[in-house]
């Protein structure tokens, strides 16, 4: 028995059984997969099936291998086809490579020649571009050459001056070439342009002389071409001087003739009459002087519309033409000064003095811009302008002094006084005369400020002194009417915004006074004023308002009854001073703002009466109307 037990572990069958029993299928994935595969075709667990299991597995394995073999045979066939195609492609590529190498060897020389030709073409194109640019900058176009040549005595055209400017530009640009390696070309081009310039200036000089000789009319029409021609001739001082001499001779003859005719014969048919017949009339004397200045201006100007004369050339023009300009003026300078002084000293009035000053200033500025600020013509005219302007402001100052010497009392209707109306009429005439003048805007603006200050400031002082004995309401209404009269006069003229703004500030101050008086007038007569006075005097005391004298129930009822009468007829409590204001806008402003004060006062009293701490009994009876209702009734 013992031997049997010892030999049992060595029994192969036992070992296999033990091994099978000890196997853990959960951990043997391969066994599990094999059993799963076996379960797909081992359905009948019989003795025959178990005996044929190995054979079935081998048959199944053989079938799978046959399937693989068939699939791989197809793959091999396809790979063989691919290999054959690749070998064919390799053969073709080798053949093409050899052919390309042969073609490259054959065309390398052609490619080299083509590259050289392309480079040469680029260099030629660059040279062509440079040559075109050089020709464009340093050569005249055919039409420009033709414009310079033209006909010897033919008319001048705009393109001539454009071509002449082009020649000057090329001549100056040649200096750049002289600083490079192109000195020869620069010298040749400069010489050619110099020839063009000389022939062009000769043609321009002859044409300008002919044009100047034709300026024999009373008021010649100086063309823009002649102006440009005179400006161009300044580069040739000798030719320019001869041309100016020709111009001066022609104009001197024409102007002297016209001036003598104006003095002795007058206009066509005797209208206008000769100047000397009106020499006793200051207005006409000033007009005749204007005519003289206009003629003198024609003598001295050189090319209307031209802006090419610089200051040095104007000075040269003045000096070189003293014979026909400055010398003639010096001969009549004293007479002109005497005539202007006669008009100024005769006290023709501020408007006449101001008009004369504007005329003199215009001609002095205009002539000075054309010849020279230091010339005898300009200095004399500006000196006379200063004299006329001084006498004008003296006249304004005298008028202002008279306003303050005799203060005129305000009329009963609180309208502006007659002296104020006369002063505004004078200011209106002066400013209208100024608007009609032709002096520059900046000078006009400075004159406006000074003129208005000379008259308006003393006028406001006179109004204040005139209203000094009036009560507050009358004074406010009177000053508002006076200032409104001044504002209305200034409003239609330019450069018066500053003064109008200052007057508006003063008007607002007087409006505040009148509004305060109107509101106090309404409050005092509507009964609310007495209640508000008591409230203001005791508002900081810790007592109920109903316990105060004047704020008891009966006093409040009486005041509200009077206030209801005012609400039923608000126009009954408008002060007479408010109705005397000159404009409806100001009257409406005073009324509206005074009503706003009354509504605000009523609102304050209403809130105090309905406040429980003031212990007013039956507040709805005491103040039956809310502040909003009162505002709606009054507005």
Q: Are 631 and 599 in contact (CB under 8 A)?
A: yes
CA atoms within 13 A on the CB side of 154: 11
**Cα distance between residue 493 and residue 178, in whole Å:** 63
**Residue with token string 């004995």:** 469
**Cα distance between residue 247 and residue 19, in whole Å:** 145
Residue 299 — very low, low, confident or very high, per pLDDT cuts 50/70/90? Answer: very low
3-state DSSP call for residue 60? helix
Alpha helices (H) along 139-223? 142-149, 158-178, 183-213
What b-and-e string marks burial along 250-281, b requiring 16 or more CB atoms within 10 Å of the CB? bbbebbeebbeebbeebeeeeebebbeebeee
pLDDT at 311: 40
Closest listed residue to residue 237, CA positions, set 313, 289, 305: 313
3-state DSSP call for residue 364? helix
What are phi and psi for residue 407, nearest 5 degrees? -80, 125
Closest listed residue to residue 379, CA positions, set 340, 333, 343: 333
**Residue with token string 């409050």:** 523
pLDDT at 307: 35
Reply yes or no on whether the pLDDT at 549 is more than 80.
no
Q: Are 164 and 148 in contact (CB under 8 A)?
A: yes
**Cα distance between residue 600 and residue 528, in whole Å:** 11
Q: Are 538 and 573 in contact (CB under 8 A)?
A: no
What are phi and psi for residue 544, nearest 5 degrees? -70, 135
**Cα distance between residue 83 and residue 173, in whole Å:** 78
Reply yes or no on whether the pLDDT at 327 is more than 70.
no
Question: What pLDDT digit, counting tens, does each position of 122-167 carry?
Answer: 999 998 888 888 888 888 888 888 888 876 666 788 888 888 889 8
Q: Are 148 and 196 in contact (CB under 8 A)?
A: yes
How far from 540 is each of 249, 535, 543, 545, CA to CA, in Å?
98, 9, 9, 11
CA atoms within 13 A on the CB side of 351: 14
pLDDT at 276: 56
pLDDT at 619: 72
Helix or strand holding residue 360 (H, E): helix 350-370
pLDDT at 88: 92
Q: How many helices (H) and strands (E) does the chain have?
A: 25, 0
- Of 45-49, 205-209, 350-354, 494-498, where does the model show the most confidence? 205-209
Quick one: three-class SS letters along 411-447? CCCCCCCHHHHHHHHHHHHHHHHHHCCCCCHHHHHHH
Residue 92 — very low, low, confident or very high, per pLDDT cuts 50/70/90? Answer: very high
Residues 6+ apart with CB under 8 A from 286: 343, 352, 355, 356, 359
Question: What pLDDT digit, counting tens, does each position of 602-626 carry?
Answer: 888 888 888 777 677 777 778 888 8
pLDDT at 277: 58
**Cα distance between residue 575 and residue 555, in whole Å:** 26
**Residue with token string 């091999």:** 76
How does DSSP assign 216-280, residue by residue?
Answer: -SSS----HHHHHHHHHHTTSHHHHHHHHHHHHHHHHHHHHHHHHHHHHT-SGGG-SPPGGGGTT
**Residue with token string 């026909």:** 324
């Amino acid at each position: 028995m013992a031997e049997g037990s010892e030999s049992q572990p060595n029994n192969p069958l036992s070992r296999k059984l033990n091994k099978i029993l000890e196997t853990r299928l959960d951990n043997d994935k391969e066994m599990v997969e094999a059993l799963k595969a076996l379960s797909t075709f081992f359905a009948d667990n019989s003795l025959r099936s178990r005996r044929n299991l190995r054979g079935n597995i081998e048959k199944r394995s053989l079938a799978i291998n046959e399937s693989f073999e068939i699939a791989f045979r197809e793959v091999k066939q396809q790979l063989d086809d691919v290999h054959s195609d690749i070998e064919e492609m390799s053969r073709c590529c080798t053949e093409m490579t050899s052919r390309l190498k042969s073609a490259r060897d054959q065309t390398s020389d052609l490619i080299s020649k083509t590259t050289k030709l392309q480079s040469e073409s680029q260099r030629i194109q660059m040279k062509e571009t440079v040559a075109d640019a050089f020709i464009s900058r340093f050569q005249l176009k055919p039409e420009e050459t033709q414009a310079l040549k033209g006909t010897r005595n033919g008319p001048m055209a705009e393109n001539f001056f454009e071509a002449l400017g082009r020649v000057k530009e090329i001549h100056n640009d040649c200096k750049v070439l002289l600083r490079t390696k192109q000195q020869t070309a620069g010298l040749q081009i400069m010489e050619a342009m110099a020839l063009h310039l000389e022939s062009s200036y000769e043609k321009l000089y002859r044409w300008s002389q002919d044009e100047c000789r034709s300026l024999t009319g009373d008021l010649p029409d100086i063309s823009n071409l002649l102006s440009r021609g005179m400006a161009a001739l300044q580069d040739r001082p000798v030719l320019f001087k001869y041309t100016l001499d020709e111009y001066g001779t022609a104009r001197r003859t024409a102007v002297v003739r016209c001036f003598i005719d104006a003095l002795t014969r007058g206009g066509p048919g005797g209208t206008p009459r000769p100047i000397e017949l009106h020499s006793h009339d200051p207005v006409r004397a000033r007009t005749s002087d204007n005519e003289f200045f206009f003629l003198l201006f024609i003598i001295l100007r050189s090319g209307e519309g031209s802006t090419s004369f610089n200051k040095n050339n104007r000075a040269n023009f003045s000096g070189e033409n003293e014979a026909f300009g400055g010398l003639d003026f010096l001969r009549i300078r004293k007479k002109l000064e005497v005539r202007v002084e006669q008009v100024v000293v005769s006290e023709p009035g501020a408007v006449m003095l101001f008009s004369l000053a504007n005329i003199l200033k215009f001609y002095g500025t205009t002539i000075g811009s054309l010849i020279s600020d230091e010339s005898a013509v300009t200095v004399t005219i500006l000196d006379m302008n200063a004299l006329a302007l001084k006498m004008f402001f003296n006249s304004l100052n005298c008028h202002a002094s008279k306003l303050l010497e005799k203060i005129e009392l305000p009329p009963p209707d609180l309208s502006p006084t007659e002296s104020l109306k006369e002063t505004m009429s004078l200011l209106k005439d002066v400013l209208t005369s100024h608007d009609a003048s032709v002096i520059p805007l900046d000078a006009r603006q400075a004159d406006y400020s000074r003129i208005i200050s000379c008259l308006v400031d003393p006028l406001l002082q006179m109004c204040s002194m005139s209203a000094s004995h009036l009560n507050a309401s009358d004074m406010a209404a009177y000053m508002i009417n006076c200032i409104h009269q001044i504002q209305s006069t200034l409003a239609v003229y330019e450069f018066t915004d500053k003064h109008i703004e200052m007057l508006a500030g003063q008007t607002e101050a007087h409006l505040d006074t009148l509004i305060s008086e109107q509101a106090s007038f309404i409050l005092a007569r509507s009964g609310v004023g007495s209640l508000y006075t008591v409230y203001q005097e005791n508002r900081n005391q810790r007592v109920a308002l109903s316990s105060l004298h004047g704020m008891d129930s009966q006093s409040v009822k009486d005041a509200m009854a009077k206030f209801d009468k005012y609400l039923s007829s608000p126009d009954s409590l408008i002060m007479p001073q408010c109705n005397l204001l000159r404009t409806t806008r100001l009257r409406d402003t005073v009324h509206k703002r005074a009503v706003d004060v009354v509504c605000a006062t009523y609102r304050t009293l209403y809130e105090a009466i309905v406040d429980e701490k003031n212990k007013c009994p039956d507040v709805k009876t005491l103040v039956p109307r809310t502040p909003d209702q009162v505002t709606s009734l009054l507005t």
